[in-house]
Amino acid sequence: MAKLSPIESEFATTEEADAYDAWFRAKIEMAMTSTAPGIPHDQVMAMVQQVIEKHRPR
């Protein structure tokens, strides 16, 4: 188990980095092969704006 420098990596070990990489690649593959309908850009931007407004300091 090789330790990684916090300056070079957000992971403590190469095993953690490899596990994250495998998980991330699987998520990307799943998204790329999905046949679910996409969400229109305008709808996504409206959803993001709601989140921003919810967390904006009053």
User: The pTM is what?
Assistant: 0.59
CA–CA gap between residue 23 and residue 29 (Å, rounded): 10
41 in any annotated domain: yes
Q: Is residue 8 part of a domain?
A: no
Question: Does 1 map to a domain?
Answer: no
In a domain, 33, yes or no: yes
Per-residue pLDDT, 8? 75
Number of compact structural domains in the chain: 1
Nearest partner of 17 among 26, 9, 25, judged by Cα:
9
Residue 41 tokens, joined: 């850009």
Domain span holding position 45: 14-55
Residue 5 belongs to some domain of the structure: no
User: Is residue 4 included in any domain, yes or no?
Assistant: no
In tens digits, what is the pLDDT along the chain, a chain of 58 residues? Answer: 677 777 778 888 889 999 999 999 999 999 999 999 999 999 999 999 999 999 998 8
Residue 3 placed within a domain: no
